Chain A
Amino acid sequence: MNLSNGCNKEMLKLKHLILASLILLVVHTNVRSADGKLLATPGVSQVEGSAGGGIVPWAQLAGYASREQISGSGYCSKVSVDDFALNVCGVQANFFDRVEVSYAKQSFEVKPLNTDLKQDIVGAKVRLYGDLVYSKWPQISVGIQHKSLKTETIAFALGANKKSDTDFYIASSKLHLGAVAGYNWLWNVSLRHTQANQMGLLGFGGEGKNKQWLLEASTAVLMSRHIAIGMEFREKPDNLNLGEDHWRDVFVAWFPNKSVSVTAAWVDLGSIAAINDQTGWYLSVTGYL
């Protein structure tokens, strides 16, 4: 058991190393990459793999692809709160700014039990209408996130019904040029149909509980072409009757160029598995091709 755990950790380290190398490669060589959007406007990568903020999927599709381009991106994020830590790495592809597909691997460290929970998420998003910057009305997209929990024992012990499920969401985003004292203002509102407990890391559903529509929202101000500051909110279900709290964060994102972004945030995840007041930090790096 210890051996396999050790192996998994080594594998994860290896993956992080590969991704970090890829990102460095992108930064240091002049790879001709998709560049058809304004700097910073695609946003970053949320913890379930979709383009978005840190915790909310946005209507924007990942990367800088415009209607004539294809882009790829990869990212790793770490969230560290008092008794838990989430490591996630993923990849995204954007086809002609119409379809986004994504894949993310999550590893969730439960410090009090000295164990890791693992989940894979396959996502797809379709832009239905508009352009974040250029259209009169907000950009609208719909998406799914199909989640497979690989370590279901704890989830079932806590009362979850399923170890695999699919979230559906509809997202709308708009960037208002010069809206706040000349600074660009971005907002996103998403509605998610879900029964995932702590994103799915504690399984799906609970006794007598059904899927429900939950609200997620983000807002940011771009202080320059390169720096965005903002905050997010994500409503959560409480299917396991453990007092699962809504999530919040306040973030700063840095976009030095169209090849890389770095995001840092302060996060408040509330109660996780009945352990209260889980606050801490989030750090994420995305590389774009």
Chain B
Amino acid sequence: MNTIKILIAIVFCTLTSCVSLSTDNKQTLYQELGGETGIENIVDDLINEIGNDQQIFHYFAKADITHFRQGLIEHFCAISNGPCEYTGDNMIDIHTGMNVKETDFNHLVDLLINAMDQNNVPHSVQNQLLAKLVPLRKDIIYR
């Protein structure tokens, strides 16, 4: 029984020290992502990942990449409480007729994680951006 108590103590100590770390810096998610430059780099690497991906590239084959890039940067900026307002179309309108499969959406999330890894975005910051994006999936897939 003592071993389990010690292990539980370790788990909770680890968690509480994480809590105190994150409350020390009261940056917005936008700032933690590296601001305008940080988000631009993430989006550029994501576009690069998509361009090299056989599974989901076909969804973007006919897209205007410059328009897509600007829209995504603006969207990430707005959703992470940055100084932007998203002016593009809503998610449902953009994806209607594309019939995006669940498999492919989830794969795109893996590519986004790769892009954030390439930019050394900390694990906890990555998760907070993902948490903002996840509710949009229902507006995107099977439309």
Tally of B interface residues using CB under 8 Å: 32
Chain B residues with Cβ under 8 A from A35's Cβ?
107, 110
Selected contact of B127 from candidates A66, A136, A177, A279, CB within 8 Å: A177
A69 at the interface (CB under 8 A from B): yes
CA distance A223 to B124 in the complex (A): 9
- Whether A181 and B124, one on each chain, are in contact in the complex, defined by CB atoms closer than 8 angstroms, is yes
A238 at the interface (CB under 8 A from B): no
- Whether A250 and B7, one on each chain, are in contact in the complex, defined by CB atoms closer than 8 angstroms, is yes
Within the complex, the shortest CB–CB distance from B143 to chain A, in Å, comes to: 14
A217 at the interface (CB under 8 A from B): no
Selected contact of A183 from candidates B18, B101, B110, CB within 8 Å: B18
Residue of A nearest to B17 (CB): A181
Within the complex, the shortest CB–CB distance from A103 to chain B, in Å, comes to: 26
- Whether B4 and A182, one on each chain, are in contact in the complex, defined by CB atoms closer than 8 angstroms, is no
B61 at the interface (CB under 8 A from A): no
Given contacts A67-B102, A183-B124, A268-B1, whether A221 and B15 have CB atoms under 8 Å apart is yes
CA distance A178 to B131 in the complex (A): 7
B123 at the interface (CB under 8 A from A): yes
A231 at the interface (CB under 8 A from B): yes
CA distance A38 to B134 in the complex (A): 12
A31 at the interface (CB under 8 A from B): no
- Whether B102 and A180, one on each chain, are in contact in the complex, defined by CB atoms closer than 8 angstroms, is no
Selected contact of B15 from candidates A177, A181, A248, CB within 8 Å: A181
B120 at the interface (CB under 8 A from A): no
Chain A contacts to B: CB under 8 angstroms: 35-39, 66-69, 97, 133-136, 176-184, 221, 223-225, 229, 231, 248, 250, 266, 268, 279
